[in-house]
Amino acid sequence: MAGASGLGTGPGAAGGDGDDSLYPIAVLIDELRNEDVQLRLNSIKKLSTIALALGVERTRSELLPFLTDTIYDEDEVLLALAEQLGNFTGLVGGPDFAHCLLPPLENLATVEETVVRDKAVESLRQISQEHTPVALEAYFVPLVKRLASGDWFTSRTSACSLFSVCYPRASNAVKAEIRQQFRSLCSDDTPMVRRAAASKLGEFAKVLELDSVKSEIVPLFTNLASDEQDSVRLLAVEACVSIAQLLSQDDLETLVMPTLRQAVEDKSWRVRYMVADKFSELQKAMGPKITLNDLIPAFQNLLKDCEAEVRAAAAHKVKELGENLPIEDRETIIMNQILPYIKELVSDTNPHVKSALASVIMGLSTILGKENTIEHLLPLFLAQLKDECPEVRLNIISNLDCVNEVIGIRQLSQSLLPAIVELAEDAKWRVRLAIIEYMPLLAGQLGVEFFDEKLNSLCMAWLVDHVYAIREAATNNLMKLVQKFGTEWAQNTIVPKVLVMANDPNYLHRMTTLFCINALSEACGQEITTKQMLPIVLKMAGDQVANVRFNVAKSLQKIGPILDTNALQGEVKPVLQKLGQDEDMDVKYFAQEAISVLALA
Amino acid sequence: METKLPPASTPTSPSSPGLSPVPPPDKVDGFSRRSLRRARPRRSHSSSQFRYQSNQQELTPLPLLKDVPASELHELLSRKLAQCGVMFDFLDCVADLKGKEVKRAALNELVECVGSTRGVLIEPVYPDIIRMISVNIFRTLPPSENPEFDPEEDEPNLEPSFGRDPRHGERTSLTPRQLDEGHRLVYEFFLRFLESPDFQPSVAKRYVDQKFVLMLLELFDSEDPREREYLKTILHRVYGKFLGLRAYIRKQCNHIFLRFIYEFEHFNGVAELLEILGSIINGFALPLKTEHKQFLVRVLIPLHSVKSLSVFHAQLAYCVVQFLEKDATLTEHVIRGLLKYWPKTCTQKEVMFLGEMEEILDVIEPSQFVKIQEPLFKQVARCVSSPHFQVAERALYFWNNEYILSLIEDNCHTVLPAVFGTLYQVSKEHWNQTIVSLIYNVLKTFMEMNGKLFDELTASYKLEKQQEQQKAQERQELWQGLEELRLRRLQGTQGAKEAPLQRLTPQVATSGGQS
């Protein structure tokens, strides 16, 4: 504490108001040093309050030096500090003094813990924008240089993210130095640093002059793309997208493509996966000509890669690939060059590959048009609807709207039904839940007749599922169906069945009736609610299970606003009053709550 | 189930100084159930390794090594090595049966020959041997079948579990990735080669270079514990025989660990690498080089923060204790490091930390104990007050350790005040009776240790509680005052239209927008 009290005894540097004596910095620093981590953390999170209380001058002369010196703390505290300092420029006196924040942040940018370092770098990037060009060269650039030549890898990785923010506003001489430093980090001895450099290569390329991109970035890119570690090579694929956007077609062919071709064939599946994953971006960046000559064949290879991970990543991109092709050629390209591979993938051995494909394949129908879809895609959809893996079937069903626009869902309905029924009865409740969520969509597309005939019974069966989440989803589903098909339909098909369940021996099913009424009453309107639903609810107030009774109270509260005054005063009120005297305290509670919300007291 | 086939020296026995010597070949097995495994239908060949099989050549059986005159031995050896460099998919039990049989026989013979015959390893065969080994074992490891692999919960990837139906997508990939027989024989051969009395590191170092070592290290990520077991022994031999590669191996291990800690929390071979390092540390000369100390402080200690600590904790703790036995002055660093990474929510890890701490205290020098006793025992007290009784119990067991007890006694004027308040409070509040009675025992020991101090602490306990409350109140007032002052300043500056401070309205300050 010696240091702290020393700081505190100095005369209030801020001068002016007499508040300073109230809060000698020693007291504040005591808080920042409290033995309890949680209290330290709280104090750090209110650092701006402290700074504001101290005033800009004392913040600069007393608080910041303290923060710079006592950087050894729990990472959680350091993280909060790094974040705070990013927004501190105003508190130290504005842009002219922004450089005062650099020393503590520089320390934080060298700590071991990645989250702290990343946050410090983020704050440094933010503050760099607030520096004047002169201050940038005087304070910020030297900091970057120090970090870039730090002993331990942490400071060098942090430096990698800072080059691009100071480069644009630096003078030419300094720019050359910055490029030089970035170059040396790209061939750093430590793979961690090379990875950091590779991941920032694209960003750095974007702020460089075109000549430098060609003469300096491209060789770096080539080197990183053939690094001994695949974790570095795969990052170069990402950089490839940014670099490609900067170069002309001719340059791309000579400077970038050889490396990219190599990445497609890389012996590590991680690199190939990255190419597949970034395929759409690459396609856009490379332009149509290279796409046709190089990327399409590469894509074919990825689709039949020996690793399922790569095939799945490529399969995900099938639709985007089609959409990004020039409109005039895309039908032919897909039909001739991609479709044969897709057909293979439909019967892939790996469920993830199939389900990746199923999640996008329907999107191809808009690109290929009605006839091709019917002739070539439809058989695939049908096969996938029968796939052994529920994910695949589900993904097809969830994308039905794409096909509906092109050929109408009727083409599929015969195969659709067994698939839906099977999913509806799947042993995994998450699968059942997923299919319920598509019911309103399907209902809309298949029409009320088909629905009544084939699917209605399924929807009712879910209401008595043994998993609550399914019953809940089934209830919401009914509401959406009523919104779609109207109240008359509800009155004829849904409501009677729901109300019958009120007499079910299982109290969970009786409660489901109440939940359905909660969900349906609004969509069904006053008449149906008053005439058909209310009597049932009121009758259930005499249920022997307390859970049912307090749900009656809740339901009455919910449907009360839809009812007219007569029903409320004449029928609801007495029942709620009776429930208000119930022996069960929960029933009492909810009844009284309903009475007060409905203003029936 | 035939899933667990722990190789001879299991990773749970790191206490053996250095690696146990490689067992004789008949015991290194662990593969005896191959036939069973191969009987199951399997779609394989998706391993990255088998990508380059385009024109498969026919292998014809060569004469046996022992049947040829010495003058032709080496020529035949080279041809056999070349045969063994042809890759087959040993998991696919239908394809290339004949070729595989030839290769298997040749490998068996090579293993036999290198292990028993003197004078076989002459200079010209070294490049052939290393080439054959490289072709066979170096490959990009395939994707993990189960990306959420939990080393404690899940079986390692030796086999598809019987109970699961792969059609329901619970396994993410189709091929069980495992060490096939071809691999095993090659590893066996490699090991015999390194251990042969004829083996000459000075010749081999031309071929076993940094790149070779790097690829060897990458294989430690293999999911198959048997492969990692081989790798462990092999790397240990390489480290022992190639002096020029030692620094490089240590450096690359560091890189693997650092990536594992800070970038990508997945690497299967951490325990094996640590086991090797444990024996390396054992051999460090004194005084320790800065590089080695840095390894302890910047790699081994942060390794404690990794989620899957339980998989390699025994090996890690062994390394740490090795360091402390070498150089006691590192104790303070280590203990402060552990305190820094002390688990906050994972009670299972907390128990491991306590175990390691006890191991450290077992070897601590009294002069070092004095330096860390206060923070250490504050942490121990926090553990005692843990609602998880295993944590509390583990911490209280410290008092059963005679050496620790003697250290506490010698320093009771510092240790007692550090823990007393917590113990006293927990003794009244803990839900678990075992803990309560253990605490009573501890308090009793304290009383016997220094009755006067104990009485003083009991007397001042209440007072301290009150002071704490008062402090909390003062703190609250302080922050309230600060908040008011902040608001006043904000208004003041806005009134005076001082531009720089205007952007400090709460929204702007937090969103960090530029003015």
Domain ranges of chain B: 59-140+179-207, 327-449
User: How many angstroms from the chain centroid is the CA of residue B145?
Assistant: 21
Q: Across all residues in chain A, what is the average pLDDT?
A: 86
Q: Give the closest of B46, B302, B479 to A306, CB-based.
A: B46
pLDDT at B178: 45
Per the CB < 8 A criterion, the answer to whether B146 and B214 are in contact is: no
Q: Do B167 and A230 touch (CB under 8 A)?
A: no
Q: Is A288 exposed, middle or buried (0-12, 13-18, 19+ CB in 10 A)?
A: middle
pLDDT digits (tens, 9 = 90+) for A102-147: 999 999 999 988 999 999 999 999 999 888 888 888 999 999 999 9
Peptide bond preceding B287: is omega within 30 degrees of 0, i.e. cis? Answer: yes
Q: Which of A563, A489, A458, A551 is nearest to A521 (CA)?
A: A563
The tens digit of pLDDT for each residue in B167-176 reads 333 333 333 3
Q: Which residue has the higher pLDDT, B479 or A519?
A: A519
pLDDT above 80 for A73: no
Residue B40 scores a pLDDT above 60: no
* Confidence grade of residue A61 (pLDDT, cut at 50, 70, 90): confident
Look-up of token digits 């009758």: A539
CATH code, A446-600: 1.25.10.10
Cβ neighbours of residue A564 closer than 8 Å, sequence gap 6 or more: A526, A530
In contact, A207 and A200? CB cutoff 8 Å: no
Res B90: pLDDT: 56
Within 8 A by CB and 6+ apart from B414, the residues are: B370, B373, B374
Rg (CA), chain B: 31
Query: A25: which residues sit within 8 A by CB, 6+ positions away?
Result: A4, A7, A8, A54, A58, A62, A63, A66
Residue with more model confidence, B205 or A409: B205
CA A382/CA A394 separation, integer angstroms: 12
Interface contact A86-B485, CB threshold 8 A: no
Residue B412, pLDDT score: 87
Does position B78 have pLDDT exceeding 90, yes or no? no
Chain B residues in contact with A18 by the CB 8 A cut-off are none
Residue of B43, B44, B45, B46 to mutate for A, most A C-beta atoms under 10 A: B46
Calculate mean pLDDT across residues B277-282. 92
Q: Length of chain B, please? A: 515
Which tens digits make up the pLDDT trace of A451-471?
888 788 888 888 888 899 999
| Exposure string over A1-26, b if 16+ CB within 10 A, otherwise e | eeebeebbeeebbbeeeebbeebbbb
Q: What is the DSSP letter of B64?
A: P
Tens of pLDDT, residue by residue over A274-299, are 999 999 999 988 888 888 888 999 99
Best mutation target, A52, A75, A310, A345, to test chain B (most B CBs within 10 A): A52
Q: If phi over 0 gives left and psi between -120 and 50 gives alpha, with beta otherwise, what is residue A429?
A: alpha
Q: b/e map of A538-566 (b: 16 or more CB within 10 Å)? A: bebbebeeebbbbbbbbbbbbbbebbeee
Contact B509 A90 (CB under 8 A): yes
| Chain A hits for B258, Cβ within 8 Å | 153, 192
Distance from CA of A99 to the nearest CA of B (A): 15
3-state secondary structure of B232: helix
- pLDDT surpasses 50 at B55: no
What is the C-alpha separation between A519 and B10, in angstroms, rounded? Answer: 60
Please say whether the beta carbons of A157 and A189 come within 8 A.
no
Coil, helix or strand for B219?
Answer: helix
- pLDDT of B19 > 60? The answer is no
pLDDT at A67 over 60: yes
Predicted confidence at residue B16, as pLDDT, reads: 40
Residues A297-331: tens digit of each pLDDT? 999 999 998 888 999 999 999 998 888 888 888 88
Q: 3-class SS at A97?
A: helix
* Distance from the A54 Cα atom to the nearest Cα atom in chain B, whole angstroms: 9
- The pLDDT value given to residue B166: 35
Q: Kindly give, in sequence order, each residue whose CB lies less than 8 Å from that of residue A299, ignoring residues fewer than 6 positions away.
A: A279, A314, A317, A321, A338
